[in-house]
Structure 1
Amino acid sequence: MPRIRIRKYSWQLAPGHIRDIRRRVFIEEQGVPPELEWDATDDIADHYLAVLPDNTPVGVARLFGTLEETAHIGRMAILPEHRGQGIGEALLRQLMADAAGQFQEIRLSAQAHAVLFYQKSGFHLCSDAYQDAGIPHYDMRCLAPALAVAALADGDAPLVLERDERSWTFNDEPTMLALMDSLVGQARQRLWLYDRWLQHDLYDRFRFRELISALARRHRLSEVRLLIHDDTPLVKRRHQLVELLRRLPSKMELRLTHDDYPREEQPFLLVDRQGLLWRHDFDQPSGVAGFAHGGRAKLLAESYQRMWDAARPSLELRELPL
């Protein structure tokens, strides 16, 4: 890959090279109408220009944030004669590094042909295909940008379900929650959760609720199982997952473990067939997460199914008013 420098500008001070590259790539090459290419977001975004050592401009992108602690990457373009040399990857990772210190999530809209390119840097799909300016696109996101950026030096596709073979160890709650959300956000059909109870600091969070809701509504075969020891805290205090559970009873179910049936001594979460997050004990935020750990996930799923079959529904939660 050629050595490049990446410079950042406001729109008001951006050199003409940024407009020229976007015009060449999006308007002339891809046929995007000019009225769609230039928008009000340019005024609030940071604009990045990648240049070669001799100051030849070769690529651009923009980055802006929203009040929802989300950063958005867009208008990323590399001139045709400089593609395939790693310039786009270097530019993307610079934007991710800049965003990771300020935002908990990064989103972008990827052209269909570029999905694998973004997955290599830790983004996963979060929408079906749609048309934008007549070009097929997918929404993608990274729910733990700081973790992704730190891991990119060790290989591709960090935090991507079924592609990232790393074992992610964690010893603090923020890291654990970032890994948990990254797993749940990629679930296509199955989420099985086992814990002593649905602790408010772990599971009674808006983002977690929205990820669960999206999974439950995504497909007619979606399945969310919550298996816990004790429902007393949930009866005494409102919980976002319990409210969601009672609104989507055909997609979500909660059961209580049988006191006389053997049960696991460590909590865990399973996502589809390869994702897992396992904690050393119920009271500590330490353990391991995996995004392509099919063998271990299968063993935990077998144990979960046995506990689930012996469990009973919560009559107390069923009787709570909506």
Structure 2
Amino acid sequence: MTVRFRKYSWQLAPQELKTIRQTVFIDEQNVPPELEWDDTDEIADHFLAVLADNTPVATARMFNTLDDTAHIGRMAVLPEHRGSGIGEELLRHLMVQAAGQVRNIHLSAQEHAVAFYQRSSFHVCTEPYDDAGIPHYGMRCLAPTLATRHFVDDSVRPWPLILGADDKSWLIDSEHQVPELMDSLVGQARQRVWLYDRMLDHDLYDRQSFRDLLSWLARHHRNSEVRLLIHDDTPLVKRRHRVVELARRLPSAISLRLINEDYPPTEQPFLLVDRQGVLFRHQFDRPEGFAGFADSGRVKLVAENFQRMWDTARPSLELRELPL
């Protein structure tokens, strides 16, 4: 089915766009009109999906915020056109529009639609909440560039970037892929994040988004465990680091140790997330490697190696003595 997409400001949006929202949200789902029509309409871009004969069939809106985030909302497909793939095409069109402009994409998903959004690389990031009497979950895609590339290069991947479900490896061949994959993994952690590298490179790890993801894990999951294992803490002593400061504020959940060089360590840095996720680089100073979101066998082997290195490692006395 051929579908085209048109973008409008709210002031120039055709009546058909508003009629679709009226039909789906107000008439079908009983959303109160005063909740459906809000001030966000004035600042958002509005998208209308039309068939080859110009029949309007679906709509959505999207706006960006200053924290480098795109927000998708008010996605609606007319009842007679559901199940034909129009909703997925519309969602992916919005993601392509946002990719390259923002670092992540957020949306609020009705409970029954969670799996629909997961098929396009969104993962759940909140507890369930009520919106207009309908159960919702917050969802996000933290790797929009990779996700949209996948739409073209690997359309058969069923659960892209979903921890425990995406069983295909993501090959890493450039630096910009590493933080996207790292954040996508850590953003879905519910128990542990184990990290091993030569140092906590500021460009890679001293990012506000990475710090916030670790903080959320440590604060919202009682038995969570973040372990940071490195060779050299000198750069951390000389220059402030967001993750190190977070670790010093949450010592019961986040620990940092220095490798014991008397016990031969591995020469490949890695990140482990829960029992399924792994990001593995072949060399300390190069980005090449791979990430897996459902690779429990490899995670188990790498975790055993990490545990051996961790058991012989020591705390950083220099960092402990620095003022907060």
> C-alpha displacement at 1:315, in angstroms?
1.7
Give me the whole-angstrom Cα distance separating, in 1, the residues matched to 2:233 and 2:178.
23
Instruction: State the partner residue of 1:146.
Output: 145
Alignment partner for residue 233 of structure 1, among 226, 232, 235? 235
Please list, as runs of the form range in 1=range in 2, the aligned pairs for 1:50-69 lying within 5 A after superposition: 50-69=49-68
Please list, as runs of the form range in 1=range in 2, the aligned pairs for 1:45-194 lying within 5 A after superposition: 45-153=44-152, 154=154, 155-194=157-196
Alignment partner for residue 261 of structure 2, among 259, 279, 290? 259
Give me the whole-angstrom Cα distance separating, in 2, the residues matched to 1:194 and 1:101.
29
- Asked whether the equivalents of residues 268 and 278 of structure 1 are also in contact (C-alpha less than 8 Å), the reply is yes
Give me the whole-angstrom Cα distance separating, in 2, the residues matched to 1:101 and 1:171.
18
Amino acid of the structure 2 residue aligned with 1:6: F
Does 160-169 or 240-249 show the bigger shift? 160-169
Could you list the per-position Cα deviations for residues 241-277 of structure 1 after superposition, in whole angstroms to 9, with x for gaps in the alignment?
1110010011011111112112111110001111111
Could you list the per-position Cα deviations for residues 128-151 of structure 1 after superposition, in whole angstroms to 9, with x for gaps in the alignment?
000011111011000111110111
Give me the whole-angstrom Cα distance separating, in 1, the residues matched to 2:158 and 2:61.
23
Give me the whole-angstrom Cα distance separating, in 2, the residues matched to 1:156 and 1:9.
32
- Asked whether the equivalents of residues 49 and 60 of structure 1 are also in contact (C-alpha less than 8 Å), the reply is yes
Instruction: State the partner residue of 1:282.
Output: 284
- Asked whether the equivalents of residues 267 and 281 of structure 1 are also in contact (C-alpha less than 8 Å), the reply is yes
Give me the whole-angstrom Cα distance separating, in 2, the residues matched to 1:83 and 1:277.
37
Instruction: State the partner residue of 1:4.
Output: 3
Amino acid of the structure 2 residue aligned with 1:17: E
Give me the whole-angstrom Cα distance separating, in 2, the residues matched to 1:279 and 1:56.
49
Give me the whole-angstrom Cα distance separating, in 2, the residues matched to 1:234 and 1:317.
8
> C-alpha displacement at 1:53, in angstroms?
1.9
Amino acid of the structure 2 residue aligned with 1:95: L
- Asked whether the equivalents of residues 152 and 158 of structure 1 are also in contact (C-alpha less than 8 Å), the reply is no
Pair 1:294 & 2:293 matched = no
Instruction: State the partner residue of 1:36.
Output: 35
Name the SS for the 1:173 alignment partner. coil
Pair 1:209 & 2:211 matched = yes
> C-alpha displacement at 1:104, in angstroms?
1.2
Give me the whole-angstrom Cα distance separating, in 1, the residues matched to 2:316 and 2:101.
41
> C-alpha displacement at 1:316, in angstroms?
1.7
Alignment identity in percent? 69
Instruction: State the partner residue of 2:16.
Output: 17
Q: Structure 1 stretches of 5 or more lacking a match? A: none
Instruction: State the partner residue of 2:221.
Output: 219
Name the SS for the 1:138 alignment partner. strand
Q: Structure 2 stretches of 5 or more lacking a match? A: none
Could you list the per-position Cα deviations for residues 70-100 of structure 1 after superposition, in whole angstroms to 9, with x for gaps in the alignment?
1110000011111111110111111111111
> C-alpha displacement at 1:160, in angstroms?
1.4
Amino acid of the structure 1 residue aligned with 2:7: K
Normalising by structure 2, report the TM-score: 0.97
Amino acid of the structure 1 residue aligned with 2:140: R
Amino acid of the structure 1 residue aligned with 2:39: A
Amino acid of the structure 2 residue aligned with 1:213: S
Q: Which aligned segments of 4 or more residues in structure 1 are displaced greater than 4 angstroms?
A: none
Normalising by structure 1, report the TM-score: 0.97
Give me the whole-angstrom Cα distance separating, in 2, the residues matched to 1:252 and 1:101.
32
> C-alpha displacement at 1:286, in angstroms?
1.5
Amino acid of the structure 2 residue aligned with 1:235: V
> C-alpha displacement at 1:219, in angstroms?
0.8
Amino acid of the structure 1 residue aligned with 2:179: L
Amino acid of the structure 1 residue aligned with 2:320: R
Instruction: State the partner residue of 2:310.
Output: 308
Give me the whole-angstrom Cα distance separating, in 2, the residues matched to 1:257 and 1:85.
55
Instruction: State the partner residue of 1:242.
Output: 244
Give me the whole-angstrom Cα distance separating, in 2, the residues matched to 1:233 and 1:104.
27
Name the SS for the 2:260 alignment partner. coil
> C-alpha displacement at 1:180, in angstroms?
1.0
- Asked whether the equivalents of residues 122 and 156 of structure 1 are also in contact (C-alpha less than 8 Å), the reply is no
